[in-house]
Amino acid sequence: MHDKILILDFGSQVTQLIARRVREAHVYCEIHPNDVSDAFVREFAPKAIILSGSHASTYEAEDLRAPQAVWDLGVPVLGICYGMQTMAAQLGGAVEGGKTREFGYAEVRAHGHTRLLDGIQDFATAEGHGMLKVWMSHGDKVTALPPGFKLMASTPSCPIAGMADEARGYYAVQFHPEVTHTVQGRALLERFVLQIAGAKPDWVMRDHVEEAVARIREQVGDEEVILGLSGGVDSSVAAALIHRAIGEQLTCVFVDHGLLRLNEGDMVMDMFAGKLHARVIRVDASELFLGELAGVSDPEAKRKIIGRLFVDVFKAEAAKLKAGTEGHKGATFLAQGTIYPDVIESGGAKTKKATTIKSHHNVGGLPEQLGLKLLEPLRDLFKDEVRELGVALGLPHDMVYRHPFPGPGLGVRILGEVKKEYADLLRRADAIFIEELRNFRDEASGKTWYDLTSQAFTVFLPVKSVGVMGDGRTYDYVVALRAVQTSDFMTADWAELPYALLKKVSGRIINEVRGINRVTYDVSSKPPATIEWE
Ligand code: XMP
């Protein structure tokens, strides 16, 4: 049994980062909504509790309180931003609305020699006060300490920027230690989790493989599992993990919709069927997909068609497998590569409002329709943990650290109507771009430009432009290169790729891919543009 930290989410944009930092300290933690029941908190049996920030204010939000059990359990509690304010409000202090919002960089002075901040500082003032460089984002602030608390930190505009009741193990900070702009944030969270809460740092990927394998064996017993393999990181790691656990009891279904990258289908088969000796059924459905997409140019309509056909094809294969094939009695489980951020996003929908900008491709609802039980072995893991797990399972580094690829594939990278001719040109141009990103290294960091970008790809524009080649005039298609840097894919900057790299890529595409005579570079950030063009 791992020691666990409970993170209560009051709706901040950065709550997930708290969990990331705690897990980086090798301590297991989970995020749950702030309004879980007292019984839930007691049963969770946390070693400590962290209260997140919020977009709300303590006045507006009467229901945004920590459950009473948080204060009754006798475990350390850390309040962050709104978490500090609710701690003050619930324990007898006072909170007031600030006249101005404080947002961004601040320097905080430490007071009172608390265990949380002892020895943690960025610099000292001439008078010898320890100072922290932090990131603040708040309107309200605590104006009176609750009984039993002492001052732990202050800034000129926020006199109570941190408070502590060391006897009870309660600490709170108005700034955000979970963001990287707070230089000592990681040290502070580690101090809280490891020293103050005394949690064991036993969340280690090596052990996780063994635990996860044991859990899958227990859950599945001698039954059979089917899994939709897309070639993406999550489904690949899930497949490798489940295969490690139950071998032949797993069947992977790989639906090739004809909108994959160059040689991608063969690579997936080579890895799973070839190297891992997993049972993989490859369904070549490219004609079906391209047929249904003919004449359709609206982006949302294209997505819906691809999503629907994908589910249909998968369902048909799953139904066959459910009935059982030679030597197999039939699947009772459907495995999915759901990861922790997916779980939080669907569970935390109550406090978060999201508009659908693009309808994303997913297979929700499938297990019920198929009458299958769900197996989701990556549900507890963040993306980088999934990658670490993939490497621990022996998947190739290049596969595990691949840029994300959208479910509808090249279908959303060919603008307007999708045609096989366009997909074939795009595949070749894109492969050249990716190959050169992997070849070019940034001298300062020693990293390749593939690793320095979060996502990079080529977009096919169905317009023709004039060019000259040799002595002749050409009239051919245009492609756009897209490369972005982002940490969360919600916002993104276009990458400042070296001109030498762009030059090499454009030269190679125009020379090697007959049918394309012009290459452009997309210099739009998100927002207002999105990462994909459709
Ligand atoms: P946008 O274009 O919305 O993309 O800025 C953000 C991230 O999401 C990916 N994306 C998708 N992934 N199905 C997916 O599985 C989709 O329909 C889809 N649309 C966009 C995109 O590649 C980027 O990483």
Using CA positions, which residue lies closest to atom 11 of ligand 1? 406
Assess whether pLDDT exceeds 70 at residue 360.
no
Cα separation, 458 vs 428, whole angstroms = 10
Out of 361, 454, 525, 532, give the residue to mutate to test ligand 1, the one with the largest number of ligand atoms within 8 Å of its CB.
532
Q: What is the pLDDT of residues 462-505, one digit of tens each?
A: 999 999 988 899 999 999 999 999 987 888 999 999 999 999 99
Assess whether pLDDT exceeds 50 at residue 23.
yes
Q: What is the pLDDT of residues 92-115, one digit of tens each?
A: 999 998 777 778 899 999 999 999
Tell whether residue 230 is among the known ligand binding residues: yes
The pLDDT, as a whole number, for residue 359 is 43
> Could you tell me if the CB of 527 is within 6 A of ligand 1?
no
* Cβ atoms 36, 354 nearer than 8 A: no
Nearby residues of 34 by Cβ (< 8 Å), 6 or more positions away: 8, 9, 10, 11, 51, 52, 64, 65, 66, 67, 351
Assess whether pLDDT exceeds 50 at residue 5.
yes
Tell whether residue 236 is among the known ligand binding residues: yes
The pLDDT, as a whole number, for residue 342 is 80
* Of 326, 250, 318, 317, residue with least CA distance to 285: 317
> Could you tell me if the CB of 522 is within 6 A of ligand 1?
no
The pLDDT, as a whole number, for residue 58 is 62
The pLDDT, as a whole number, for residue 346 is 60
> Could you tell me if the CB of 360 is within 6 A of ligand 1?
yes
Assess whether 158 carries a catalytic annotation: no
Cα separation, 388 vs 35, whole angstroms = 33
> Could you tell me if the CB of 406 is within 6 A of ligand 1?
yes
Q: What is the pLDDT of residues 163-203, one digit of tens each?
A: 999 999 999 999 999 998 899 999 999 999 999 999 999 99
Using CA positions, which residue lies closest to atom 21 of ligand 1? 406
Query: Residue 347 — very low, low, confident or very high, per pLDDT cuts 50/70/90?
Result: low
Q: What is the pLDDT of residues 227-276, one digit of tens each?
A: 999 888 999 999 999 999 999 999 999 999 999 999 999 999 999 999 99
The pLDDT, as a whole number, for residue 56 is 73
- The catalytically annotated residue of 111, 138, 176, 208 is 176
The pLDDT, as a whole number, for residue 207 is 81
The pLDDT, as a whole number, for residue 352 is 41
Here the tokens at position 98 are 């600030």
Out of 531, 533, 534, give the residue to mutate to test ligand 1, the one with the largest number of ligand atoms within 8 Å of its CB.
531
Assess whether pLDDT exceeds 70 at residue 354.
no
- Of ligand 1's listed atoms, the one at least distance from the Cα of 492 is 5
Using CA positions, which residue lies closest to atom 18 of ligand 1? 406
> In the block, which residue shows the tokens 């922790």?
340
Using CA positions, which residue lies closest to atom 17 of ligand 1? 360
Percent of residues, the chain, with pLDDT higher than 90: 78
Cα 407 to ligand 1 centre (Å): 8
Cα 360 to ligand 1 centre (Å): 7
Assess whether 81 carries a catalytic annotation: yes
Quick one: average pLDDT of 521-534?
96
Using CA positions, which residue lies closest to atom 9 of ligand 1? 406
Here the tokens at position 490 are 């919600």
> In the block, which residue shows the tokens 């001052």?
151
Q: What is the pLDDT of residues 382-391, one digit of tens each?
A: 888 999 999 9
Task: Indicate the average pLDDT of the chain.
Answer: 92
The pLDDT, as a whole number, for residue 414 is 98
* Of 458, 461, 447, 508, residue with least CA distance to 482: 458
The pLDDT, as a whole number, for residue 353 is 32
Nearby residues of 456 by Cβ (< 8 Å), 6 or more positions away: 403, 433, 434, 437, 449, 450, 481, 482, 483, 484, 495
> Could you tell me if the CB of 408 is within 6 A of ligand 1?
yes
> Could you tell me if the CB of 524 is within 6 A of ligand 1?
no
Cα separation, 315 vs 331, whole angstroms = 12
